[in-house]
């Protein structure tokens, strides 16, 4: 049932107090098919949300917000080495990762405690600690928001990039993702070399880690660095780590000896955006209750009751400061509405 004039504060992890003209929750595909016949649906701008964890509202939404609640976790196929699991787009991401760990299916342990729903995972090509969704992605089922036409997208068709996919570009808000299929291992090789996972495992006094141990290490690291959206409004990392050429990297190293960077297979380098922001002295910097987090400069938080435009203005200030100091252009990861 379509509702009118709904407050979205509890439906976005920034906790921005905005309203939408119309709002509806989709709990089954049949409900979606019924929805697209509604006059209010056909005549209004549309926005699909899941957990609201990668979203910044800068104003009220003049249109219809569709909350994707499609659920279900089912085994599609299995052999001695791997399984394919079909997951409803509305399932909580971390809960799904925990389900996999309990089944001893590996591949997602490094992506523990990432907020949001399963349907957003291929849209963002979410990633952490050396793993991205594209590494375990099989395909997804989606429906055109205009006419309900069904399409199966394989990995190539999703055009995955760094925190990017075709669903953030050409097909943005054009498809409702119904389910995602993941190909997971029964005896996977642990990926512990990225970031501080090995250090955390050593701190936990674990010598021969399991996938659950890796997950626990990731959870401990994330909790120590990133603010809990249930305690203070935020959308996790607000900026992407920028990629620069080898020549640009060499120039910066001459000026900044302690530049934090990582070499890439294509010969370019990826810079740590959080480090760049911190070097600009912006940790804790705030505009009207929107602030750069004091522990992780990649994150912008809503300290109390800021407006979305305050977060947006603060992000632009950060972009300008980093560009002036380093000559590097940061890119916003969060979806701005």
Nearest in space to 267 (alpha carbons), one of 248, 295, 281 = 248
- pLDDT of 122 higher than 80: yes
Pick the CATH number of 3-68 from 3.30.360.10, 3.30.720.210, 3.30.43.10, 3.40.50.20: 3.30.43.10
Q: What is the pLDDT of residue 195?
A: 67
Reported as type and span, the H/E element at residue 214 is helix 211-225
Per DSSP, the three-state class of 213 is helix
The CA angle 92-90-10, to the nearest 5 degrees, is 75
- What residues have CB less than 8 Å from 69, skipping those under 6 apart? 25, 26, 27, 90
Return the active site residues.
163, 237, 333
Rounded distance, CA 89 to CA 154, Å? 16
Nearest in space to 233 (alpha carbons), one of 158, 148, 307, 167 = 307
Backbone angles phi, psi at 249, to 5 degrees: -60, -45
Q: Where in the chain is the domain with CATH 3.30.465.10?
A: 73-185
Q: What is the maximum span of the chain, computed from C-alpha positions, in angstroms?
A: 62
Are 64 and 44 within 8 A, CB to CB? yes
Nearest in space to 103 (alpha carbons), one of 213, 185, 181 = 185
Segment 15-70, tens digit of pLDDT: 999 999 999 999 999 999 999 998 888 889 999 998 888 899 999 999 999 999 99
Average of per-residue pLDDT values in the chain: 92
Are 177 and 207 within 8 A, CB to CB? no
Instruction: Record the pTM.
Output: 0.88
Pick the CATH number of 233-336 from 3.90.228.20, 3.90.78.10, 1.10.3720.10, 3.90.1010.10: 3.90.78.10
Pick the CATH number of 73-185 from 3.30.465.10, 2.40.50.1070, 1.10.1530.10, 2.40.50.100: 3.30.465.10
């Amino acid at each position: 049932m379509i509702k009118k004039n709904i407050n979205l504060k509890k439906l976005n992890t920034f906790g921005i107090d905005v309203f939408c003209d119309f709002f509806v929750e989709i709990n089954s595909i049949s409900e979606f098919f019924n929805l697209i016949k509604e006059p209010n649906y056909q005549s209004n701008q549309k926005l699909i949300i899941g957990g609201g964890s990668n979203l910044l509202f800068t104003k009220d939404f003049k249109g219809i917000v569709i909350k994707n609640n499609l659920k279900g976790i089912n085994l599609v196929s299995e052999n001695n080495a791997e399984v394919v699991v079909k997951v409803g787009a509305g399932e909580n991401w971390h809960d799904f990762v925990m389900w996999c760990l309990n089944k001893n299916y590996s591949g997602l342990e490094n992506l523990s405690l990432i907020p949001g729903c399963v349907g957003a995972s291929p849209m963002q090509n979410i990633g952490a600690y050396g793993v991205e969704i594209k590494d375990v992605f099989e395909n997804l089922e989606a429906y055109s928001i205009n006419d309900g036409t069904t399409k199966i997208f394989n990995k190539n068709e999703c055009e995955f990039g760094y925190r990017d996919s075709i669903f953030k570009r050409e097909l943005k808000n054009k498809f409702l993702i119904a389910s995602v299929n993941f190909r997971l291992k029964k005896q996977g090789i642990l990926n512990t070399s990225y970031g501080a996972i090995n250090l955390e495992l050593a701190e936990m006094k674990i010598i021969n880690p399991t996938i659950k141990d890796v997950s626990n290490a990731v959870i401990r690291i994330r909790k120590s660095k990133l603010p809990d959206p249930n305690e203070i409004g935020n959308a996790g990392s607000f900026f992407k780590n920028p990629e620069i050429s080898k020549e640009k990297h060499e120039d910066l190293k001459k000026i900044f000896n302690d530049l934090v960077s990582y070499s890439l297979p294509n010969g370019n380098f990826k810079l740590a955006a959080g480090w760049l922001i911190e070097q600009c002295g912006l940790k804790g910097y705030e505009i009207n209750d929107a602030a750069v987090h004091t522990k992780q400069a990649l994150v912008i938080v809503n300290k109390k009751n800021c407006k979305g435009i305050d977060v947006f203005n603060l992000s632009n200030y950060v972009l300008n400061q980093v560009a002036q100091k380093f000559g590097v252009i940061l890119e916003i990861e969060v979806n701005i509405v």
